[in-house]
Structure 1
């Protein structure tokens, strides 16, 4: 008879020692028999287990941990439904290119494919969503498979993203040979700094320094390149956009920032630089229908950010910081051709729009139902947030308000997958990783409902997060689309549920706020008593920019209605 005892020399213990050596101090997990050997050995190594209420949330938390720390996020989920529950989180990390390691278990090898409890071929499910996916059946291969999975997750030699390993329970109990436990496999590894080809650097410099209206757009691949990016903007006189993947790289006060003029600058630029950024739906796929005759300079260290949808007139395959340093060095004292009046004019229009927005937010009228406009909530939050706050924005319609209404040096949201429901898990993980910073989740009530039970996790682990629920009792963007497109609302209204009451039941400080004048004091009390939740009633009548743009009805060729019309004209030979 086999014993459930797991020795300190077991594969499970080796996994825990490996993670500890690689700097992992926190794992997000939901317990189960198939992973219990790993679970107990993690505890034995002093690695904190943040036990969650749903496996999807465990992967979301690992994702957010990786984003705010710059390290590896680790999720531990049990077999069968534990893995299938986790798949939405894995899919989001896949699209976001987040370095997450997911570990699981399978039935003992003697019971495989015989109808054992939770016996599923997990790897077949997760392989399309991961950079690496393996079942490790041999104890002597555990260490090298862990090393390879972490390297793949962190993008060593390729695109970063989730990696997955599972282990039969008897393999976890088995003792690997000491001979295969080579010291170098425990050593932390840095991603290699990929240096650019000098010829591609020269091509990029020629394009950039001859551009009259240069636009720089950064993405997640540019994180860590703040210094050379700001120097490039200063030297070139270019204007700058960030679409949320890398907010904080360039301060909002920098004269190159023209976020409020996004539509204009995309159509006016003659050279567009993408730094570790895909040309996805948020950037009109780089289409000439939107970008006109602009030429592209693509800079990235992985192929998916280098040549998707539009090839560059110059393409620099390198780490973004190394590429920018090389470009600056090669340019030397060369004088750029940038039209300073164009850039200054865009910045002035941006500043005017931004100021107008701030004023309008504080004065936004209530709806006919007497409930406050969501911008009143965001204005009060913006006033209360410190400069180094971490903001997590979540939702459909509410996200559209929050991403322009809130300022943050670190900003997280559902990303290009549109994976709403990340807010509470992301906020919990960020607040545990950065307890000295204010972490605020600004979420719509629909998105909040996906992982509302994780407030229990916040309470149990004393995560110092403030969750603010904009409660409009509906899936507002869909309600508006149904009303305007179909003339009838079907299945898109919610209750004005008592989210504060639920939070109180789980031990959080919680208040329901119904009037704008109550917000400053309520926010101050919540900040002082985190974890906390504010349930703020807002009107569903407010129309967001996304609702007005046609995003909800999913146009045929482009994500937004105006872009779709331009694309149709361009493809038919008209003027975009």
Structure 2
């Protein structure tokens, strides 16, 4: 160990953690570490923009359940990554972000790429560490890894650490290496307090209409969730954080009657899920005023944010649900008629949606509906697939229409541009499984050049660009609310298939509905591939029809906002 450099020691610690792949973009301030991780046998996936590196780490962490790493250089390298770090923070995704900074002798002198990096990322990270001495390297790296995994306060999320460049070349000695800090960290399993568990079991026994809403912790607790749903005779609603864990083969899964389930349940159980705008902040204007809430989680956001739980259980989702199942927590008098009615209504609406997804429903210009593209993508997906949705308008169609396979989307931050890097990371993580991203044309523009990353690294993802040549939610809004004064919403004439070909990928353009299925099949056979599908801009998404574009004052969507205003006695 006497000739080991700091950079090599960091690489060894990351390898010990189980990190097999690092996403990043090279730069002088991190070059010693960039070299060291490669020589240590960790695959380096080099991207074209630093935000894509963090997006790819984010997707890998979500799909693997493990810590994932992004490495970016100093100054603009880090500032380029800020949006993606913010997205990981809102999503509570365990991402370790590593950067460099100018050499210590140049501190405060206006060095190249010198900026207050810690101050920039501090509000969007679980922990920020800046290391200046070699004997602090491993201890603080270990601390940062632990913070990302939620060991500090139960909240997972991005954590940041940087090193001055010349420190990376220093030689470390045995005394600089705390042995225990070299050991890998794992996500903690938190057993719940027996008193809180007893209160939770009592709440379940007293309920008759239970709805469970899954958050990100469900991904690591699938068997326990399924068993609990059966035992508790509960219905289940997923979210982008957990989609794919519970699927259509479960009688509990009723996504097509989401609004009814939320408004009619007398007990709402949240599993590692924030009550954010997507859930109406838990408001009695959205849920039944008489509903009780049982909140299960490991941090304040999951337990008490916006609406405190009538019962709050601090603990890991899997261990808490296993304990409740073992305790026989089931309703004493379940409303079986309601349960059957909800399942029947869900089946009817699902069948009606299937008809929409199979109908090209051309508009006045002959362009196909976005729903038809989603339906065609469904025909590519297998039980082992990963589906990605990215965009504004198309996200609304895809969120409802895509099969409930393993799934990622823009998340609660509404972060456009994740589609290409998310799908590329998913395809690298699961190379034998179909990975398909449905991406709006506007959103595709943010990270389109990352198709090159997919090509260079052999990520066999299919990127379906749903091209209505517009920022279409905003376009409809400008037509209807702003007297057709169209400003900055049209994106005409872009040929994303030719862009893909120029980057070395397979590219096709589809203008006719009858050509779509074959084009998608060819794309899957020749991935990475871009299929540029021209669709109707006349189609109005559920998000637009729900008033999302208007940004209502009390709730994110119009009907909930109206109910909230009525609750406050306002019109």
Partners of 1:371 and 1:485 lie apart in 2 by 25
Partners of 1:244 and 1:43 lie apart in 2 by 33
Partners of 1:8 and 1:30 lie apart in 2 by 27
SS at 1:421 equivalent = coil
Specify the alignment match of 2:175 in structure 1.
Answer: 179
- How far off is 1:573 after superposition? 8.6
Q: Does the Cα contact within 8 Å between 1:80 and 1:120 map onto a contact in 2? A: yes
Specify the alignment match of 1:24 in structure 2.
Answer: 19
Q: Does the Cα contact within 8 Å between 1:471 and 1:496 map onto a contact in 2? A: no
Q: 1:548 aligns with which of 537, 545, 552?
A: 545
Specify the alignment match of 1:480 in structure 2.
Answer: 476
Specify the alignment match of 1:525 in structure 2.
Answer: 522
- How far off is 1:380 after superposition? 1.1
Specify the alignment match of 1:469 in structure 2.
Answer: 465
Partners of 2:166 and 2:375 lie apart in 1 by 56
Q: Does the Cα contact within 8 Å between 1:15 and 1:143 map onto a contact in 2? A: yes
> Superposition pairs for residues 163-242 of structure 1, below 5 Å?
163-242=159-238
Once the two structures are superposed, residues 537-560 of structure 1 have per-residue CA deviations (whole angstroms, 9 ceiling, x without a partner) of 111111000010001110000001
Once the two structures are superposed, residues 198-226 of structure 1 have per-residue CA deviations (whole angstroms, 9 ceiling, x without a partner) of 11111111111211211111101222222
Once the two structures are superposed, residues 168-193 of structure 1 have per-residue CA deviations (whole angstroms, 9 ceiling, x without a partner) of 11111112232131332222222221
SS at 2:100 equivalent = strand
Q: Does the Cα contact within 8 Å between 2:8 and 2:37 map onto a contact in 1? A: yes
Q: Does the Cα contact within 8 Å between 1:108 and 1:169 map onto a contact in 2? A: yes
Specify the alignment match of 1:415 in structure 2.
Answer: 411
- Is structure 2 residue 23 aligned with structure 1 residue 11? no
SS at 1:411 equivalent = strand
SS at 1:155 equivalent = coil
Q: Does the Cα contact within 8 Å between 1:195 and 1:322 map onto a contact in 2? A: yes
Once the two structures are superposed, residues 292-313 of structure 1 have per-residue CA deviations (whole angstroms, 9 ceiling, x without a partner) of 2211001112221011111111
Partners of 2:231 and 2:569 lie apart in 1 by 40
SS at 1:273 equivalent = strand
> Superposition pairs for residues 101-116 of structure 1, below 5 Å?
101-116=96-111
- How far off is 1:8 after superposition? 5.5
Compute the RMSD of aligned alpha carbons: 1.3
SS at 2:324 equivalent = helix
Specify the alignment match of 1:440 in structure 2.
Answer: 436
> Superposition pairs for residues 93-108 of structure 1, below 5 Å?
93-108=88-103
Partners of 1:552 and 1:33 lie apart in 2 by 43
Specify the alignment match of 1:329 in structure 2.
Answer: 326
Specify the alignment match of 2:276 in structure 1.
Answer: 280
Specify the alignment match of 2:376 in structure 1.
Answer: 380
SS at 2:347 equivalent = helix
Q: For structure 1, which segment, 259-268 or 7-16, has the greater mean C-alpha deviation from structure 2 after superposition?
A: 7-16
Specify the alignment match of 2:147 in structure 1.
Answer: 152
Q: Does the Cα contact within 8 Å between 1:471 and 1:537 map onto a contact in 2? A: yes
Partners of 1:481 and 1:125 lie apart in 2 by 34
Q: Does the Cα contact within 8 Å between 2:65 and 2:219 map onto a contact in 1? A: no
Partners of 1:473 and 1:573 lie apart in 2 by 39
Once the two structures are superposed, residues 358-404 of structure 1 have per-residue CA deviations (whole angstroms, 9 ceiling, x without a partner) of 11221141111221111111111111211211001000000100111
- Is structure 2 residue 567 aligned with structure 1 residue 570? yes
SS at 1:223 equivalent = helix
Q: 1:162 aligns with which of 158, 163, 183?
A: 158
TM-score normalized by structure 2? 0.97
- How far off is 1:156 after superposition? 1.5
Partners of 2:325 and 2:63 lie apart in 1 by 28
Partners of 2:569 and 2:493 lie apart in 1 by 47
Specify the alignment match of 2:507 in structure 1.
Answer: 510
Partners of 2:220 and 2:431 lie apart in 1 by 22
- 5+ residue gaps, structure 1, are 1-6
Specify the alignment match of 1:53 in structure 2.
Answer: 48
Once the two structures are superposed, residues 464-502 of structure 1 have per-residue CA deviations (whole angstroms, 9 ceiling, x without a partner) of 111110011000000011111111211111123100001
Q: 1:62 aligns with which of 34, 57, 63?
A: 57
- Is structure 2 residue 275 aligned with structure 1 residue 265? no
Partners of 1:564 and 1:364 lie apart in 2 by 33
SS at 1:420 equivalent = coil
Partners of 1:507 and 1:249 lie apart in 2 by 35
Q: Does the Cα contact within 8 Å between 1:299 and 1:306 map onto a contact in 2? A: yes
- Is structure 2 residue 119 aligned with structure 1 residue 124? yes
Partners of 2:513 and 2:376 lie apart in 1 by 8
Q: Does the Cα contact within 8 Å between 1:274 and 1:298 map onto a contact in 2? A: yes
- How far off is 1:314 after superposition? 1.0
Specify the alignment match of 1:354 in structure 2.
Answer: 350
Partners of 1:122 and 1:335 lie apart in 2 by 52
Specify the alignment match of 1:4 in structure 2.
Answer: none
Q: Does the Cα contact within 8 Å between 2:204 and 2:331 map onto a contact in 1? A: no
Specify the alignment match of 1:457 in structure 2.
Answer: 453
SS at 2:448 equivalent = coil
Q: 1:400 aligns with which of 388, 396, 407?
A: 396
Count of equivalent residues: 567
Q: Does the Cα contact within 8 Å between 1:221 and 1:301 map onto a contact in 2? A: no
Specify the alignment match of 2:491 in structure 1.
Answer: 494
- How far off is 1:331 after superposition? 2.5
Q: Does the Cα contact within 8 Å between 1:298 and 1:306 map onto a contact in 2? A: yes
SS at 1:46 equivalent = coil
Partners of 2:467 and 2:100 lie apart in 1 by 39
Q: For structure 1, which segment, 533-542 or 222-231, has the greater mean C-alpha deviation from structure 2 after superposition?
A: 222-231
